[in-house]
Amino acid sequence: MKIINDNLMNGLAEEAKKSPMMRERILETKPTKDIYLAGGCFWGTEHYFKQIEGVAITEVGFANGHTENPTYKEVYTDQTGFAETVFVRFYPDVVSLEFLLQMFFKAIDPTSLNKQGHDEGTRYRTGVYYTDPADLPIIEKVFAEEQKNYEQLLTVEKLPLQNFYTAEEYHQDYLDKNPDGYCHLPLELFEFAKKAKDNKRNGEDLRQKYIGDSASMQD
């Protein structure tokens, strides 16, 4: 099983975001945690999470499929079982997993099966894939809270990470390289992510700060 090259998993957050070359250097020992998030097209999902304070590294790829070393073209056929997924490494002393998952739900329609925006197929299914079993209670808590907002059952997967393969380089930081490129998420959502803070770290609740309906933001 390929997860992520250990060298890539470290590095100064800002420098790593600016330069893919920095991902190959180990420059930081600050404690981090990892989560893998499938939110539809990974171009927009990665760009969204890159805006959030406390996110150190992002990488797009393919998770929980049944072939080895899939290419984007192979995954696009919906015959490999993979979901377009974003690896997120974050600093837990700056941003919590709970906060990141709350932000994740702001960027998806959690009742839409295999479809986000105009993108449709099993590769665009939504999911939260974890590598640390200790994270499961937090994940289940957020899922339970989100379910209260919908009459329909959530269709978001909640599973251990089975495998993850990094996508081709041209998919990495796609919207940084192509500012006018396709994205299923609205620009307003990126601005929201940029301004969002894990206010529970400061004694406030994210939900008290968030104004507006995330569903309308995706229209």
Q: Could you read off the pLDDT of 55-65 as tens digits, one per residue?
A: 999 999 999 99
pLDDT in tens, 63-104: 999 999 999 999 999 999 999 999 999 999 999 999 999 999
Q: What is the structure's pLDDT at 17?
A: 52
Instruction: Assign domain 13-217 to a CATH class.
Output: alpha beta
- Model pLDDT for residues 16-40, shown as the tens digit of each residue: 555 555 544 434 568 999 999 999 9
Catalytic positions, please?
41
E strands in the chain: 33-39, 55-63, 83-90, 115-116, 119-120, 126-130, 157-160, 164-166
Q: pLDDT tens, 181-192?
A: 999 999 999 999
Q: How far apart are alpha carbons 206 and 3 in whole angstroms?
A: 31
54 contacts: CB under 8 Å, gap ≥ 6: 90, 91, 94, 95, 198
Q: What's the mean pLDDT when you consider all of the chain?
A: 86
- pTM score, whole prediction: 0.81
Does the structure show a pLDDT above 50 at 174? yes
Q: What is the pLDDT of residue 44?
A: 97
